[in-house]
Amino acid sequence: MFAAYRPSTQRSYASAQALYEDFYEESELAGDPWPASDAAILAFVSDCNKRKLQQDTISQYVAAIRSKNTLLGPVGPDQVALALRGVGNQRVAEAPPKPSKPAWEAAWVVRAAELLSASLRSRTQVPKLPDLQAYAVTIVGFLFALRSQSVASVNSDHLKFEGDAFHLVVEVYKDKGVPKPKSVMLSAPATQQPFRALFDFLDYMHRLVPERKENFLVSEFIAKSDEPSRAVDRAMDHVLSLLKIDHPMRTQQKSHALRRGAAIAMLAVGVDVDKRRLWGGWKSHESMKPYVAGYEFAKPTAEQRSCFSWMLGAE
């Protein structure tokens, strides 16, 4: 899978992993360096911090280590969460940041995908369109790190399956919701959840309402003269009700939380920074930073891997 990375990514990751291995050997730490334990990574980060390396540089090193860890498999459930808070900044290490902005959780996406597929395959209950659309909104918005306008503008022609690939054509928006004269196609594997649930949803919608194209995901939530983001917000709140989520920031889970949650999940899994930027359509690395503030070194969850580990081997 490492061979599937771009050459530049292979070189930068291999270099970072070699630096970690050199540190491990020089520090005479016990055991094998791989998979890298939390304690070993923390020691490596502390050493980098003492050498006054830039925070972005250390973050990239950690992403490279996480990437190899992911390819090798989980290192055990009893590890503490990655204690890398405050890389390159001692003040942050002493007072871990407290994220103030809500982020949609990958666990909710995975559960929504399971319920979406189960609803469509049930032989005893007729699926409810608002439920189906709400599930699909959060799955699409999260997996593709979309802005609210892009989620709301998805129509039936934008979603396509070809072989083992799932394609989404995204209308890219400028400020104030003005479309650019071009669209972007994003492709992902269609054979695994949560993407598989979207295939079930698309098939059902084509059979149920083949003529419906506009507001394909939010027709049950959009009101007249309404901003697109409002419909997405309503769909998200409906999903939280269906999932019976009692989250302390539930009332703040607005449409941008999907995009923020995706950014956090991709970073946690170890997706290359350039690949993350292109996937979410961020203009620069700097513009991505606010999305992951406070989560830079969170340990990846099984649900985050389910959503984004496929990107580790994607071109």
Q: Angle 129-143/106-121 helices, nearest 10 degrees?
A: 140
**What's the pLDDT tens digit per position in 245-256?**
887 666 677 778
Residue 23 to residue 27: CA distance in whole angstroms: 6
> Is residue 242 pLDDT above 90, yes or no?
yes
> Which pLDDT score is estimated for 182?
54
Domain boundaries defined on the chain: 1-96, 106-260
> Which pLDDT score is estimated for 187?
79
Residue 149 contacts residue 228 (beta carbons within 8 Å): yes
Mean pLDDT, range 263-280, rounded to an integer: 90
Higher pLDDT, 174 or 164: 164
Residue 150 contacts residue 128 (beta carbons within 8 Å): no
Higher pLDDT, 51 or 127: 127
**How far is the CA of 197 from the CAs of 85, 200, 261, 268, in angstroms?**
35, 5, 19, 23
> Which pLDDT score is estimated for 267?
92
Where does the pLDDT of residue 211 fall: very low under 50, low under 70, confident under 90, or very high at 90 and above? low
pTM of the model: 0.67
* Residue 168 burial (C-beta neighbours within 10 Å; 0-12, 13-18, 19+): buried
**What's the pLDDT tens digit per position in 78-93?**
332 333 444 444 434 4
| Cis amide leading into 194 (omega within 30) | yes
Q: Count CB-CB contacts under 10 A for residue 75.
A: 14
Comparing 88-102, 142-156, 177-191, the range with the smallest average pLDDT is: 88-102
Mean pLDDT, range 88-106, rounded to an integer: 59
**Domain 106-260 belongs to what topology?**
Topoisomerase I; Chain A, domain 3 (3.90.15)
Residue 36 to residue 74: CA distance in whole angstroms: 10
Higher pLDDT, 12 or 184: 12
| Cis amide leading into 35 (omega within 30) | yes
Nearest Cα neighbor of 153 from 139, 126, 171 is 171
Residue 139 contacts residue 300 (beta carbons within 8 Å): no
* Residue 94 burial (C-beta neighbours within 10 Å; 0-12, 13-18, 19+): exposed
**What's the pLDDT tens digit per position in 113-171?**
999 999 998 888 888 999 999 999 999 999 999 888 888 888 777 877 777 777 887 76
Higher pLDDT, 47 or 262: 262
Residue 283 to residue 304: CA distance in whole angstroms: 24
